[in-house]
Amino acid sequence: MRSKIVAGNWKMNLTFAEAETLVDDILDLFDDQDEMNCEIIICPPLPYLELLTDYEFDEQQFNVGAQNCSAYDKGAYTGEVSAKILKSIDVDYCIVGHSERRKYFGETNEVLAEKINRLIENNMSPIYCVGEVLEEREAGRHFEVVKEQLEKGLFHLDGDAIYDTIIAYEPVWAIGTGKTATPEQAQEMHAFIRSMVKERYDEATADEIRILYGGSCNAQNATELFSQPDVDGGLIGGASIKANDFVSICQQASVIGKE
């Protein structure tokens, strides 16, 4: 049985003081809950990673992820942060290929494949994002687009490395728009992604790999999305920087995870 994951992508939000307050509020809310039966990953802006990795968590275990890393290993790449640097401060996860990076920073599937290689070399888990834009869905090309993103960005990995990877399906038209994919649309694409993993690797890998949904996932719709058989949790943007909403989403994942 795959355990659920809730990952919070804070994007480029919050000052340091606001981030501290958010973490304190989240921890206070967790204090009132039983231990969650799901994995939680928080992906803050880069300068705040150590704020999270340094926390002494009691009951609830958090994992910490970066939102991006360099495609290069080390050296004269001013402004870049390598997987090795992230790992050296106990960051174990990293989002790769978010649609905002594909769109605003021109990141191609080929560059993303290199980023994934650096993460795997440093024993980190990539959270690889795929998803179509609205025109592609309207043209009925969404499966084709996601297939290409998987084949070019991820499926070069061998059978061992793919086990450490999480896939996030984020339809671009649903990100930050309040227009969530229906549970049926999410399930259909997640089942397609899982079938692709089975075709490229094997059934056991397809059964194990976690596929998260992202795009206007919130405290109101988390349960119905996470209840879909191939939806293993969520990659949460806006709702992850609201303590009550984020903890509610984690709680919903935990309840479904126990069923």
Q: Taking contact as CB under 6 A, which single stretch among the options 19-27, 102-110, 170-178, 200-208 is the one that binds ligand 13P?
A: 170-178
Sign (positive/negative) of CA torsion 119, 100, 134, 242?
positive
Decide if residue 214 touches ligand 13P (CB under 6 A).
Answer: yes
Measured from the CB of residue 4, what is the shortest distance to ligand 13P in angstroms? 16
Binding to ligand 13P (CB under 6 A): which residues in 72-111? 98
Specify the residue for token string 């949790």: 233
- Among 100, 107, 136, 170, the active-site one is 170
Closest CB to ligand 13P belongs to which residue? Answer: 237
Asked if 225 contacts 231 with a C-beta cutoff of 8 angstroms, the reply is: yes
Q: Taking contact as CB under 6 A, which single stretch among the options 69-77, 104-112, 150-158, 232-240 is the one that binds ligand 13P?
A: 232-240
Residues in the interface with ligand 13P (CB under 6 A) total: 14
- Record the tokens describing residue 107, joined without a space: 């990141």
3-state secondary structure of 163: coil
Instruction: Please state the φ and ψ torsions of residue 121, each to the nearest 5 degrees.
Output: -60, -30
SS percent in the chain: helix, strand, coil, step 5: 45, 15, 40
Could you confirm whether 56 is annotated as catalytic?
no
CA 31 to chain centre: 24
Measured from the CB of residue 238, what is the shortest distance to ligand 13P in angstroms? 3
- Among 98, 100, 107, 142, the active-site one is 98
Could you confirm whether 98 is annotated as catalytic?
yes
Decide if residue 175 touches ligand 13P (CB under 6 A).
Answer: yes
Beta bridge partners of 128: 96, 167
